[in-house]
Amino acid sequence: MSESAKLSFKGQEYEFPVITGTENESAIDIAKLRGASGLITLDPGFKNTGSTTSAITFLDGEEGILRYRGYKIEDLAEKSSFLEVAYLLIYGELPSQAEYENFSKEITHHTLVHEDIKKILEGFPSNAHPMGVLSSLICSLTAFYPDSLNPNRSEEEVNMSIIRLLAKMPTFAAWAYKNEVGHPVNYPDNSLDYCSNFLKMMFALPAEKYDVDPVVSAALDKLLILHADHEQNCSTSTVRVVGSSQASIYASISAGINALWGPLHGGANQSVIEMLEAIKADGGDAKKYLDKAKDKNDPFRLMGFGHRVYKNFDPRARIIKKAADDVLTKLGVNDPVLDIAKELEHAALNDQYFIDRKLYPNVDFYSGIIYRALGIPTDMFTVMFALGRLPGWIAQWKEMRENGEPIGRPRQIYVGANERDYVSMNKR
Ligand code: SDX
């Protein structure tokens, strides 16, 4: 029996259908609200508003549950691989052995980028933030593959764009880093797996032999899995809205990269380390910074804490915190910043302000500590987040296109000047 919700306004009653998803989440379908009542809803930040139905990722913020296509993040992080998870998110099912091998081979053989990309790269000063370089290089794919400008091409052609994105993003990310440190770029090595190839492009130097540390490669693979999708977050919503105008997938992903860059979103992993370093430099007094975070007159926020959806532990944060201990132990790294992070977490979880607001560590709180132990520089942390989130953005863009969703165009309530006569003050 289908449910409904009633609204009464100015003596009129209105009834709207309620839809319920496979995990018993319910929403009022207000598609006919304005036509029936003249009303719209107002919800800055869309805190109470669903933008779509989706079959990709389920998360329960109260219970701290995250699943990709029904599979628990804990199982995928422990047993799967990033490319297998990418396949699952994009195509909806885990790949067979043959499907996986073909997918992996396709990606490996598209990691090389057009030599003219180096001309674009050389145009960036060395102080260019790698996220700006990355979004620019991804968008430049529209120039090298102009057929991609039409998103309504055959399934095979769209899939080729998907493979190119997955294959070339690591190359672009590594090249953005090389541009920053003034080293020559490294070309992809097709004998290596996804993460090892990225690490070698990032860190290999002409004068030295570079061997990928399997501990580092495995840790990176797990981190990419944990970042792969997260339903309708800010950057994913950006990808869907840009894609809804029928802009190319490359333009849509480039827009998502830019949305992720912000410190309230994916940029938080860089801000967390900068915050922890500042606390360390200031004597390591966690309580002082907790008080700053609670002070409404102080713009300081505890970066890596709080979440729009999770009002319990972010399950990814739990996994990353344990991985941080494991990786630093295996690599023999002793990072005092990890101790400050743990002290800060303990203090916050026992502080009434954070308890009342259900503020817990999120995915960004510990991830930077692992990236740092892997030798990845701080301003590349959000690039790593983008590398992980790419399959999720692709899957969500593909779902939006396949569902034939309309162009995203919210309404507003106007609060500006009423009509007035034009009388110029400028004597021309
Ligand atoms: C990601 O959406 C996703 O799924 C994102 C993500 C993904 O995988 O895509 O999970 C990745 O972006 C994780 C979040 C990374 N950002 C940070 O760590 C930045 C610090 N956190 C906050 O800025 C904040 O918690 C947000 C942006 C994450 C969420 O903000 P909301 O949901 O808009 O909540 P809010 O700002 O309205 O905060 C509610 C209250 C406020 O206090 P009151 O007005 O009720 O007194 O909590 C306070 C806030 O001041 N608060 C914090 C805080 N976060 C919220 N106070 C101090 N420190 C914080 N970090």
Atom of ligand 1 nearest to the CA of 308: 32
Distance (angstroms) between ligand 1 centre and the Cα of 359 equals: 8
Q: What is the pLDDT of residue 405?
A: 97
- 52 CB contacts (<8 Å, ≥6 apart)? 232, 240, 400, 403, 405
The residue assigned the tokens 């840009």 is 242
Distance (angstroms) between ligand 1 centre and the Cα of 290 equals: 15
CA-to-CA dists, residue 14 to 25, 32, 289, angstroms: 22, 10, 50
State whether the Cα torsion 195-82-338-133 is positive or negative.
positive
CA-based R_g, the chain, Å: 23
Q: Domain segments of the chain: what residues?
A: 4-65, 73-262+390-402, 268-373
Average pLDDT per consecutive 10 residues, the chain (428 residues; last block may be shorter): 92 97 97 97 97 98 96 98 98 98 98 97 96 98 94 93 98 97 96 98 94 95 98 98 97 98 94 94 92 95 94 93 92 91 92 94 93 94 98 98 97 97 89
Q: What is the pLDDT of residue 1?
A: 64
Q: Does 1.10.230.10 match the CATH number of domain 268-373?
A: yes
Atom 20 in ligand 1: which residue has the minimum CA distance?
303
Atom of ligand 1 nearest to the CA of 306: 25
- Measured from the Cβ of residue 397, the count of other Cβ atoms closer than 10 Å reads 26
Distance (angstroms) between ligand 1 centre and the Cα of 29 equals: 27
Mutate to test the pocket of ligand 1, among 233, 236, 307, 356 (most ligand atoms within 8 A of CB): 307
Q: Answer yes or no: same fold for 73-262+390-402 and 268-373.
A: no
The CATH number of the structural domain formed by 4-65 is 2.20.28.60
CA-to-CA dists, residue 4 to 12, 20, 47, angstroms: 16, 11, 21
Type and span of the H or E element at 14: strand 12-20
Residue 326 falls in the annotated catalytic set? no
Q: Which of 221, 307, 314, 351 is catalytic?
A: 307
Q: Which of 221, 229, 351, 364 is catalytic?
A: 364
Type and span of the H or E element at 144: helix 130-144
Distance (angstroms) between ligand 1 centre and the Cα of 85 equals: 27
As a whole number of angstroms, the distance between CA 41 and CA 27 comes to: 13
As a whole number of angstroms, the distance between CA 124 and CA 121 comes to: 6
Distance (angstroms) between ligand 1 centre and the Cα of 307 equals: 5
Atom 37 in ligand 1: which residue has the minimum CA distance?
308
- The tokens for 333 are 């790294």
Residues with CB under 6 A from ligand 1: 45, 230, 233, 264-266, 268, 293, 301-309, 357, 359, 362-364
Atom of ligand 1 nearest to the CA of 272: 18
What is the CATH T-level fold of the domain 73-262+390-402, as seen in this structure?
Answer: Citrate Synthase; domain 1 (1.10.580)
pTM for this prediction: 0.96
DSSP character string of 225-270: HHTS--SS-HHHHHHHHHHHTT--HHHHHHHHHHHHTSTTTTTHHH
Residue 307 falls in the annotated catalytic set? yes
Atom of ligand 1 nearest to the CA of 229: 8
